Amino acid sequence: MSQVFSFSGNDDFCPGGRIYPNPKEPCLFLSLGRSVDYFPLQKRSRVSVSFDINREWFDEPKQKTSIESLPDECLFEILRRLPAGQDRSVCASVSKRWLMLLSSICKNEVCSNGSTGDSNVGGDDDQGFSNEGYLSRSLEGKKATDVRLAAIAVGTASRGGLGKLTIRGCNSGRGVTNVGLKAIAHGCPSLKVFSVFDVATIDDEGLIEIASGCHKLEKLDLCKCPNISDKTLIAVSKKCPNLAELSIESCPNIGNIGLQAIGKLCPKLRSISIKGCSGVGDQGVCGLLSSTSYVLSKVKLESLMVSDLSLATIGHYGFQVTDLVLSCLPNVTEKGFWVMGNSRGLQKLNSITIEGCQGLTDTGIEAIGKGCPNVKNFQLRKCAFLSDKGLVSFTRAALSIESLQLQECHRITQIGLFGVFFHCAAKLKVLTLISCYGIKDLNADLPAMSPCESFWSLTVRDCPEFGDANLALLGKLCPQLRHVELSGLQRVTDAGFLPLLECSETGLTTVNLRGCINVTDRVVLPIVNSHGWTLQVLCLDGCKRVTDASMMAIAGNCPMLSDLDVSKCAITDTGIAALARGNQISLEILSLAGCISVSDKSMPALKKLGQSLAGLNIKRCSAISSRGVSKLQEHLWTCDILY
């Protein structure tokens, strides 16, 4: 130390001389202040020495800090003694190593304040874990990684707890693995809803960890997880007694044993959905249904190799089933549907959907109608062998039908359609016909029918032979219509739609005439004049014969209109200007796509309309320039503009 104080400096260190005459003065250790001299650095001399890039010192690794030199076991002991969730989140930001170590700490491994033992003694709040489950997180694509799952596990613990987690379509390179699922299992005991879609990098090990750490799990969705097997379902059935909803899709290794375990050990199971699982057969479905007969209310079976035995089990044990979906079951025959209906166990069935089942015939659907007297919502799709006879027999037995949808049932004709109204006139409210090629305009003598006073919604979509005659008959039967959708019906003209309007006693709220190319202003004008005060949605997309006259009528008679679609209509700038002059305070969505006569001249009118608009579609409006679109975007910055 004396040598240090004896040092007096030299000119080599400070070319300008000494800073202090006596370096032993106490002021040497104080701030230099403004009196200090300034000595600029000397220019370095150029030295011609060869530089060896392969020298050993160049490749020396960066020296670690002292705490990073600790082994994982020691660092684990330090991190598990952190007092609160806030501190855990801060420490997790230090490095990936710290984050992964923190996420591996289970709830029972956390030491409470003042505790040095190996077991947990404190309460949840002291540990930074929450059991409420207020938060939800979703990871998709490249964002679905183990590191993000670890961050979620650590970060949500002190912020209400993670209640819902969705992982969708992760990448194969750095995707989610069992490590990430273990982090969720250790840090998210409040998890109630867990969904995994298209993740091939996880297997039973990770899902078993979820089941072991998340005992509050109520809903589990597994879709396209090829490495998940019955072991996962067995673990869930043993560790998650609150499981209420289970959905399995395209998981080939899940079979009968797992479903049987779920049925026996999950007393609260209310909903089951199984789709495209090649390992599932009658044994698993029957075992599940027979064990949950007094709680199960929703059943969906799709693309399975089950037989008539499964449908018979549904009919016998479905005491509490209210919603039933049967789709693409190639091994089910007419006998299966007949037994399901005649078992008389589906007394509480409220909604049934049957799609792509070639075994459904007139005999089977009649049995379903008799065995399900309280069904209200009935959907039939792609039933090739169903005819008018079966449909009429069903409606004759199931008098509670309120909503009926027929899609691609080509053997259903006008006779079957009006047979529905004849038998269900008292309660029928909604009818939807989609791509039914057998429904044509026929000059058949129909029996006299009383009006259907409860009916309010009619949808006919892509039925090429549906024309004016059928529409006029429906208008007479349905005086209380409020929702009308006639899409892609080229045979419908003004002559068919006008009688429907004349018979309407209540105000229409929704009118969709998309693709009705033969509809003109003669239809639109009565719609807006008679129903303008109730009309909220008007779609005239593709009605090429609708002109500015309709726009002028809309402007003056539709103050409640919120959605207007006049795409590909014969609308010009004059019509847009008339609409802007009207009192359209409720208009939120305006579509002008394909209106080639709308130009930049409509920009002032669109700016005025934009005060209430949330969405504007001006795609394929070739007369509107890019400059006009830019100006429109500047003024309507709160409006979503498609161009």
Structural domains of the chain, ranges and CATH numbers in brackets: 67-84+94-124 (no CATH), 510-516+526-643 (3.80.10.10)
SS3 call for 171 = coil
CB 239 within 8 A of CB 213: no
Q: What is the pLDDT of residue 449?
A: 79
* d(C-alpha 588, C-alpha 565), whole Å: 11
Average pLDDT over residues 404-431: 92
d(CA 603, CA 154): 52
Give the DSSP H/E element, type plus range, for residue 414: helix 414-424
DSSP state for residue 448 in the 8-state scheme: P
Closest alpha carbon to 265 in 215, 199, 190, 316: 215
Asked if 297 and 274 count as a contact pair (C-beta separation under 8 A), the reply is no
> What tokens does 66 get?
């002292």
pLDDT at position 6 over 80: no
What is the DSSP secondary structure assignment for residue 556, as one 8-state letter? H
Tell me the C-alpha distance between 218 and 127, whole Å.
25
More confident position, 587 or 103: 587
Any residues with CB less than 8 A from the CB of 455 and at least 6 apart, and which?
421, 425, 428, 429, 430, 431, 477, 478, 480, 481
Q: What is the pLDDT of residue 584?
A: 79
The Cα–Cα gap between 512 and 16 comes to 92
Whole-prediction pTM = 0.82
DSSP 8-state assignment for residue 96: H
Mean predicted confidence (pLDDT) in 493-507: 89
pLDDT of residue 61: 56
Per-residue pLDDT at 10: 47
Q: What is the pLDDT of residue 148?
A: 86
Residue 472's H or E segment, with its range, is helix 468-477
Burial 502-513 (b: 16+ CB within 10 A, else e): ebbeeebbbbbb
Helix (H, G, I), strand (E, B) or coil at 177: coil
Averaged pLDDT, 326-354: 96
pLDDT surpassing 70 at residue 34: no
CB 514 within 8 A of CB 490: no
pLDDT at residue number 444: 66
445 residue type, one letter: D
Q: Range with the lowest mean pLDDT among 16-30, 264-278, 311-325?
A: 16-30
Look at residue 114 and give its three-state secondary structure.
coil
Q: How far apart are CA 518 and CA 521, in angstroms?
A: 10
Check whether 384 has a pLDDT greater than 80.
yes
CA 15 vs CA 20, 22, 25, 319: distances in Å: 14, 17, 21, 101
Instruction: Give CA 358 to chain center in angstroms.
Output: 31
User: What's the rounded Cα separation, in Å, for the pair 89 and 76?
Assistant: 15
Q: Which residues pair with 520 in a beta bridge?
A: 545
The mean pLDDT of 348-376, rounded to a whole number, is 96
Calpha distance 478→428 (Å, rounded):
10
**pLDDT band for position 153 (cuts 50, 70, 90):** confident
- Match 């202040």 to its residue by tokens: 33
- The one-letter code for the residue type at 23 is P
> Regarding predicted confidence, which is higher, 72 or 587?
587
Mean pLDDT along residues 172-192: 86
Q: What is the mean pLDDT of residues 578-590?
A: 90
- Per residue in 287-329, pLDDT (tens digit) is 999 999 999 999 999 999 999 999 999 999 999 999 999 999 9
pLDDT of residue 475: 87
Residue 17 vs residue 445, higher pLDDT? 445
Confidence grade of residue 258 (pLDDT, cut at 50, 70, 90): very high
**pLDDT grade for 92, boundaries at 50, 70 and 90:** low
Confidence of residue 16 (pLDDT cuts 50, 70, 90): very low
Sign of CA dihedral 623, 626, 632, 638: positive
Contact 291, 316 (CB under 8 A): no
Q: Which range is most confident: 28-32, 84-88, 473-477, 612-616?
A: 612-616
Structure tokens at 377: 């919502």
Environment class of residue 378 by beta-carbon count within 10 Å: exposed (0-12), middle (13-18) or buried (19+)? buried
Comparing 483 with 585, the larger pLDDT belongs to 483
Mean pLDDT of the chain: 84
Q: Look up residue 359 and give its two tokens.
A: 């075994």
What integer is the mean pLDDT of 230-238?
A: 97
- Residues above pLDDT 70, as percent of the chain: 78
Q: How far is 304 from 543, CA to CA, in rounded Å? A: 43
Residue 121 has pLDDT above 70, yes or no: no
- Compute the C-alpha angle 592/597/600, nearest 5°: 80
Mean pLDDT of 513-523: 95
Separation of first and last alpha carbons in the chain: 80
627 three-class SS: helix
Q: What is the pLDDT of residue 451?
A: 85
Q: Which amino acid is at 106?
A: C
Which residues touch 12 (CB under 8 Å, ≥6 apart)? none
Quick one: tokens of 544? 């090429």
**pLDDT bucket at 53, cuts 50 / 70 / 90:** very low
Instruction: Give the DSSP letter string of 246-306.
Output: EEEES-TT--HHHHHHHHHH-TT--EEEEES-TT--HHHHHHHHHHSTTT--EEEEES---
Query: Which two three-digit tokens encode residue 363?
Result: 């005999």
Handedness of CA 588, 589, 595, 596 (dihedral sign): positive
Residue 502: which pLDDT band, with cuts at 50, 70 and 90? confident
Residue 242 has pLDDT above 90, yes or no: yes
Q: Which of 102-106, 302-306, 516-520, 624-628 has the least mean pLDDT? A: 102-106
Closest CA to 425 of 372, 389, 477, 460: 477
Q: Rounded distance, CA 154 to CA 161, Å?
A: 10
Q: Is the pLDDT of residue 45 over 90?
A: no
- Cα→Cα distances 65→34, 43, 68, 70, 508, Å: 38, 36, 5, 9, 75
Average pLDDT over residues 189-205: 94
pLDDT band at 378 (very low <50, low <70, confident <90, very high): very high
Residues 6+ apart with CB under 8 A from 48: none
In this structure, of 37-41, 219-223, 566-570, 590-594, the range with the lowest mean pLDDT score is 37-41
